Amino acid sequence: MNQGFAPVFATPKSKQPKNPPQPISLQKLQGSLSSYFDDVPDPRVNRTKRHLLKDILVIAILSTIAGGDGWEDMENYGISKQQWLQKFLDLPNGIPSDDTFRRV
Average pLDDT for runs of 10 along the chain of length 104: 60 63 73 77 90 95 95 97 92 97 95
CA distance 104 to 101: 5
Task: Residue 28: count other Cβ atoms within 10 Å of its Cβ.
Answer: 9
Does this model's pTM top 0.75? My answer is: no
| Residue ranges covered by each domain of the chain | 26-103
pLDDT of residue 23: 77
pLDDT of residue 103: 94
Q: H/E/C letters for each residue in 40-94?
A: CCCCCCHHHCCCCHHHHHHHHHHHHHCCCCCHHHHHHHHHHCHHHHCCCCCCCCC
